Amino acid sequence: MKCLIVAGGVSPCKADLYKHINDADFVIAVDGAADIFDKYTLFPDYIIGDIDTADINSVSRLETSGSSVIKLQRAKNETDTEAAINHALQTGAQDIVILGATGRRMDHTLANIAMLVRAVRAGACCRIIDKYNEMWVATGNHRFSGRIGQTVSIHPLTGDLLVNSKNLEYPLDDLKLCVDSSRGVSNVIENNPVHLSISGGFALIVKIRGKA
């Protein structure tokens, strides 16, 4: 089951929004993202948040059209996006795409990246996609594909890692990637699929969508 979550960072482009709405089983708008759906006359299944950034008129129109509003307390111990992730997982989502997860609030961006770990620990695949990047986390044996020549970076996220790779231009052979080093930045996909073996924790995988 696939869930699309649209968060309140930089608004996704229309093409990405429509692409992922079309194959999602259910859609969540996080607070201010309700305005994006209202703009395009699209109707998420849920609007989740404390509704401190969304236009209340947008929320009202979407609710009238069938969207369920889950109103959160403003004083809470989680972000609205974390609440949306938790709801998606509790509803049974196995594939989660988050748009609008990055932007000028670096604290929220970092918190949203942490949610990638939350999802994987719960047994789901979760990706953050913006105009420039697609990112997810992995541990153990992992495979992925991309364009030949596409730039990809591997960052240790939860501690120092030992990484092996196949089909990257710069091989990682029992390479230790440290949290205080940039060693895993700017590798290149040489063939598909890329094989990784990651031990010691979770790695953040970042594919650059355009020209690096």
pLDDT tens, N- to C-terminus, the chain (212 residues) = 999 999 999 999 999 999 999 999 999 999 999 999 999 999 999 999 999 999 999 999 999 999 999 999 988 899 999 999 999 999 999 999 999 999 999 999 999 999 999 999 999 999 999 999 999 999 999 999 999 999 999 999 999 999 999 999 999 999 999 999 999 999 999 999 999 999 999 999 999 998 77
Q: Are residues 10 and 67 both part of a single domain?
A: yes
Q: Please give the pLDDT value at position 123.
A: 95
Final residue of a structural domain among 131, 163, 178: 131
The three-class DSSP label of residue 21 is helix
Q: Are residues 145 and 180 both part of a single domain?
A: yes
Q: Please give the pLDDT value at position 210.
A: 82
Q: Please give the pLDDT value at position 211.
A: 78
Cβ within 8 Å of residue 39, ≥6 positions away:
none
Q: How many domains does the chain have?
A: 2
* CATH number for 198: 2.60.120.320
Q: Are residues 108 and 83 both part of a single domain?
A: yes
Q: Are residues 39 and 68 both part of a single domain?
A: yes
Instruction: Round to whole Å and give the CA distance between 105 and 102.
Output: 7
Final residue of a structural domain among 112, 131, 150: 131
Q: Are residues 140 and 182 both part of a single domain?
A: yes
Q: Please give the pLDDT value at position 190.
A: 97
Contact assessment for residue 100 and residue 12, using Cβ atoms and an 8 Å cutoff: yes
Q: Are residues 87 and 148 both part of a single domain?
A: no
Asked if omega into 193 is within 30° of 0 (cis), the reply is yes
Q: Are residues 114 and 150 both part of a single domain?
A: no
Q: Are residues 112 and 163 both part of a single domain?
A: no
Q: Are residues 105 and 20 both part of a single domain?
A: yes
Q: Are residues 187 and 87 both part of a single domain?
A: no
Question: Cα 45–51–134 angle (5° rounding)?
Answer: 60
The three-class DSSP label of residue 198 is strand
Q: Are residues 121 and 142 both part of a single domain?
A: no
Identify the domain containing residue 6 by its residue range: 2-131
Q: Are residues 145 and 189 both part of a single domain?
A: yes
* CATH number for 51: 3.40.50.10240
